């Protein structure tokens, strides 16, 4: 099993500093490498970063960042489109995105496009497992949302029927007319 890269072995605070430097457009990769190596030297650590390792890490982070930006753009578009619609629609969108992601990953694995080895296999298995759990929980939540929305609509119909019945009786309508109004509000067909 290959050993982790020098960047992967950095202490969390130094890695965070490297990420901060790489996000700053005023700082070049060469300057970021120099500053991180100075921090490592001050801390008495023997490791040093190479320019190429920082470049590879920056490129990897840029690819991840680009995917995140694309995901956010798609999500913002759909949220704007579904904003006025019931919350359940957004849940359906998230479920569909997760299903598509899982399907794409499985296709890549089957076609050999996603390289898995002893090092990457545990992470891929963990990701698929967590994705499955997330989809399951979202499906449960979506089902509960649909059920709750139906209960709320039914409660609103009952309350409207009771209010209409009260007003109709006070207005002097016949018992048959009051029942007809009640059935119409509740969506009940004539017996």
Mean pLDDT by 10 residues, the chain (191 residues): 74 90 93 94 90 90 79 69 55 68 68 65 76 75 82 88 84 82 77 56
pLDDT the model gives residue 22: 92
What's the rounded Cα separation, in Å, for the pair 186 and 163? Answer: 12
pTM value? 0.45
pLDDT the model gives residue 84: 47
Structure tokens that stand for 123 in this block: 């992470």
Please name the residue ranges forming H helices in the chain: 12-23, 29-42, 51-82, 87-111, 121-170, 175-186
What's the rounded Cα separation, in Å, for the pair 51 and 55? Answer: 6
pLDDT the model gives residue 112: 63
String of b and e for 13-25 (b: at least 16 CB within 10 Å)? ebeebbeebbeee
pLDDT the model gives residue 80: 67
pLDDT the model gives residue 26: 95
Torsion angle, alpha carbons of 92, 97, 100, 106, to 10: -120
């Amino acid at each position: 099993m290959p050993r982790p890269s020098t960047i992967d072995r950095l202490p969390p605070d130094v890695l965070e500093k490297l990420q901060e430097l790489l996000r700053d457009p005023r700082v070049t990769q060469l300057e970021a490498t120099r500053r991180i190596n100075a921090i490592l030297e001050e801390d008495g650590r023997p490791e040093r970063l190479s320019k190429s390792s920082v470049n590879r890490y920056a490129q990897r982070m840029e690819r991840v960042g680009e995917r995140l930006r694309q995901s956010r753009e798609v999500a913002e578009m759909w949220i704007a489109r579904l904003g006025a619609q019931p919350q359940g629609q957004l849940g359906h969108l998230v479920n569909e995105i997760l299903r598509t992601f899982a399907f794409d990953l499985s296709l890549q694995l089957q076609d050999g496009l996603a390289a898995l080895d002893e090092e990457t296999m545990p992470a891929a298995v963990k990701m698929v497992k967590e994705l499955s759990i997330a989809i399951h929980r979202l499906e449960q939540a979506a089902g509960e949302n649909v059920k709750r929305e139906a209960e709320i609509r039914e409660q609103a119909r009952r309350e409207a029927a009771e209010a209409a019945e009260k007003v109709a009786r006070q207005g002097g309508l016949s018992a048959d007319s009051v029942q007809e109004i009640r059935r119409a509000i509740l969506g009940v067909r004539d017996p």
